[in-house]
Amino acid sequence: MSGPIDLTEVDFAEIKQNLIDYLKSTEKFTDFDFDGSNLSVILNLLAYQSQLTAYSTNMIANESFLTSATLRDNVVMNARMLGYVPTSARAAQSMASFDFKLDKDDYPNGFPQYLEIQPGMIFSSSNGLNNFIFNIIDTQVSSVSNAGICRFDGVRIHEGILLSHTFVVDESDWSQRFMLQNEAIDTSTIRVEVQEDPSKEVNHNYKEAKNLVKLTQESRVYWLEEGENKYYELTFGDGLFGKKLENGAKIFCKYLITNGNLANGIQGENNYTFVARVIDSYGTVVTTRPIITAIEPAEGGAELEDVSSVKFHAPKSYAAQSRAVTEDDYETIIRDIFPAVQDIYVFGGETLPLPEYGRVYVVVKPTTGDALSTLTKHYIKKSLDPYRIASLDIVLVDPEVVNVEIISNVFYDEKQTNKDSAAIVAAVKDTLKGYGESNSVSKFGGAVRYSQIVSSIDDSDLSITRNNTSLRMRKDVEFLVDQPASYEICYLNEIKPDCDGPVIMTNGFKLRIDDVIDDRLFYFEDDGVGNIRTYYYNSINEKIIHDKEFGTINYVEGEIKLGYQKPITFTEVQASDRFLKVTAIPKNQDIIATQSLFINLDIANSSIVAVIENKVNNQ
């Protein structure tokens, strides 16, 4: 008895088998089992066609939903339905200050009133691997003093190349689109001017609109969306919301294309060369080169938001509804404002031991470095203003970065491998590096699990038989040079008190004691009962305890306090290091990142030694 043919499979063999099952039930034909038969030819054809249709249907269904789509264009189109625009690449930014000292001989009729720098290249720079151009997006003008000095202070510079593109509105082209055909564009640098009347050479600035709120039919706005092939598209008003462009109107777009995160971290005035064309108020080109007085380290460069990030953030952005209310809202909005972020932790001031109501604390760990510059913090705080709840104060604080060092003796059976001890160490470090970069460690709320470290080491190479491993926590304290201050060093993990010896170790440092710089190299340690004491080594290398009340330690809270009784003045640290490195032995095997603590598994400073195993089981 023949039944319906089941054609819902997506596998060729299964579809063919279903067709065969159907033919079997009809008992009319028998040759379907033989590859050479005509029936087999027909069955192959039918099965192949069904499989193609099933596959296409499956893919179309997948690509129709945000969660299952895989092609970027489809993910972006689905995200667009939630009102989400993927974050474009972001140019590394910095803030530069420079002075022009004009020569009197060049201006016999008196100094000009001002100097002007047009948008475009301003500095060339290099990080040793690549060369970069830094630009200004908007015209910079500064007045010249009577002494001929013109100071440009805090000029925001962006890495990349400034491009421009002009569109002409053509109403006869019903499908006209205004696409900026470059995928490396930084959309925050887009400047749009429109010559609305083709017969009048007057340009108007247009601003980006995020929604329809407060828009009228005269609002000069444009919307930005990602279109196909990672290109961004401009759309203009329809005459109801936003001004409608007339036929023949000219749209002048200026934007920056960038190298993303490659230029992050360039610092030092010597790495920048001034290349801008400067014009004075008389309209002549200034040949004097300026003196660069200050340039912040470049930061904030990021790549175009990838597919997985769009899929993750689009629903959250929709949930935030362009309002920073919950902690997740802050995270989503900050990532949109400043994409070069590794992780964000947000908490309300009311959760502090001494509650601070009406404050939201935002801890941002950037992708490069441990903390954001003051400039970037200010930029983020200002950019959060349109989203925040009125009267709520936003405070951006630096993460407490704790470096975890691994001390490990790795035993390996030399008969099981042709690697030497250095290669074994390299393999172990490589594995641990992967573990350190994994999502379970390098984030707020992450943890370094002792058992995972130990098993990762064992799994690094087949010849490794066992390992003896311990963990240490290290904080790099940036001290104030030659200024009296008190310091609090928090590990937010319990420290193991030990009566037999100290559990706190530091690198050497020098102090100013009683207003005199002491030339001895000091260290500090704990005494096992809650005090921090300094010591030094004398000429015959004996350890001499110097100050028994240098500070205090709370083992349970994992907290060291220095200079709370009497402020301390550090003058320098050993080996021209920038930081005072304070190492502590944790009480628990696992190190957990709670609150604003961010764990960095420091493989470079870990001590891993490979030892040949002499107790190998012969079996």
Partner 1 sequence: MEPTQLKRKVKQFVDVSLAFEPNPLNKDLTVLKNERAINNSLKNLIFIAPKEVPFTAEVGSNTREYLFDQIDVGTAGLLKLEIERTIEFNEPRVEIIELTVEPHLDRNEFMVNVVYKIVGYDQLFYFDQILSPTR
Residue 443 is classified by DSSP as S
Select the span of 28-36, 200-208, 278-286, 572-580 touching partner 1 (CB under 8 A).
28-36
Left if phi > 0, otherwise alpha if psi is -120 to 50, otherwise beta: which for 468? Answer: beta
Please give the Cα distance from 298 to 123 (Å, whole number): 12
Q: Is 41 in the site for partner 1 (CB under 8 A)?
A: yes
Site for partner 1 contains 26 (CB under 8 A): no
Q: Give yes or no for residue 30 binding partner 1 (CB under 8 A).
A: yes
**Contact window for partner 1 (CB under 8 A) among 29-37, 288-296, 488-496, 579-587:** 29-37
Asked whether position 36 contacts partner 1 by CB under 8 A, the answer is yes
155 and 290 in contact (C-beta within 8 Å)? no
Contact status: 56 vs partner 1 (CB under 8 A)? no
- Report, in Å, the least distance between residue 57 CB and partner 1: 18
Name which position in 38, 58, 273, 284 contacts partner 1 (CB under 8 A).
38
Q: 368 CB contacts (<8 Å, ≥6 apart)?
A: 261, 264, 265, 299, 340
**Is 10 near partner 1 (CB under 8 A)?**
no
The neighbour count for residue 174, using CB atoms within 10 Å, is 6
Residue 66: which of 260, 256, 318, 283 has the closest Cα?
318
Find, among 281, 278, 276, 279, the residue nearest to 111 by Cα. 281
Rank residues 5 and 426 by Cβ distance to partner 1 and give the closer one: 5
Distances in Å between the Cα of 272 and the Cα atoms of 163, 256, 260, 263 are 22, 19, 18, 12
C-alpha 260/C-alpha 234 separation (Å) is 22
Query: Residue 39 or residue 505: which is nearer to partner 1 going by CB?
Result: 39
Binding to partner 1 by residue 47, rule CB under 8 A?
yes
Burial class (CB in 10 A: 0-12, 13-18, 19+), 175: exposed
* 25 binds partner 1, rule: CB under 8 A: no
Closer Cβ to partner 1, 32 or 523, answer by number: 32
Does 438 bind partner 1 (CB under 8 A)? Our answer is no
Tell which one of 7, 20, 39, 609 touches partner 1 (CB under 8 A).
39
Round to whole Å and give the CA distance between 431 and 458: 10
Question: Quick check: 31 binds partner 1 (CB under 8 A)?
Answer: yes
State in angstroms the smallest separation of the CB of 47 from partner 1: 8
Q: Is 44 a binder of partner 1 (CB under 8 A)?
A: yes
Cβ proximity to partner 1, 36 vs 128, nearer residue: 36
Residue 34 interacting with partner 1 (CB under 8 A): yes
Using CA atoms, how far residue 171 sits from 84, 107, 193, 249, in Å, is 28, 52, 19, 10
CB of 39 to partner 1, least distance (A): 6
Residues 6+ apart with CB under 8 A from 501: 528
Alpha carbon distance 141, 116 (integer Å): 4
Report the residue number, 29 or 579, with the smaller CB distance to partner 1. 29
Q: Which two tokens stand for residue 18?
A: 């279903």
Report how far residue 601's alpha carbon sits from residue 435's, in angstroms, rounded to the nearest whole number.
8
Beta-sheet strands, E only, within 369-444: 393-397, 400-412
Pick between residue 35 and residue 385 the one whose CB is nearest to partner 1. 35
Classify the C-alpha dihedral 290-292-297-300 as positive or negative.
Answer: negative
Q: Using the rule CB under 8 A, is 42 a contact of partner 1?
A: yes
Phi, psi of 422 (to 5 degrees): -65, -40
Residue 7 interacts with partner 1 (CB under 8 A): yes or no: no
Of 27-35, 119-127, 495-503, 529-537: span binding partner 1 (CB under 8 A): 27-35
Given 5, 7, 10, 12, the residue binding partner 1 (CB under 8 A): 12
User: What string marks each residue from 227 to 266 as x (binds partner 1 by CB under 8 A) or -?
Assistant: ----------------------------------------
* Min separation Cβ 28 and partner 1, Å: 7
CA distances from 432 to 162, 287, 366, 460 (A): 42, 54, 22, 9
Kindly state the number of chain residues that form the binding site for partner 1, as judged by CB under 8 A. 18
Give me the 370-399 binding string for partner 1, x by CB under 8 A, dash otherwise. Answer: ------------------------------
Shortest distance, CB of residue 58 to partner 1, whole angstroms? 17
Taking the complex as a whole, how short is the minimal distance between the CB of residue 60 and partner 1, in angstroms?
21
Least separation in angstroms between CB 40 and partner 1:
8
Quick one: 11 or 197, whose CB is closer to partner 1? 11
**Helix intervals (H) in 201-344:** 307-320, 327-337
Question: The tokens 């001499």 sit on which residue?
Answer: 544
Backbone angles phi, psi at 384, to 5 degrees: -80, -15
The verdict on 37 binding partner 1 (CB under 8 A) reads yes
Residue among 1, 4, 28, 516 that touches partner 1 (CB under 8 A):
28
Q: Provide the binding-site residues for partner 1, judged by CB under 8 A.
A: 12-13, 28-31, 34-39, 41-42, 44, 47-48, 51
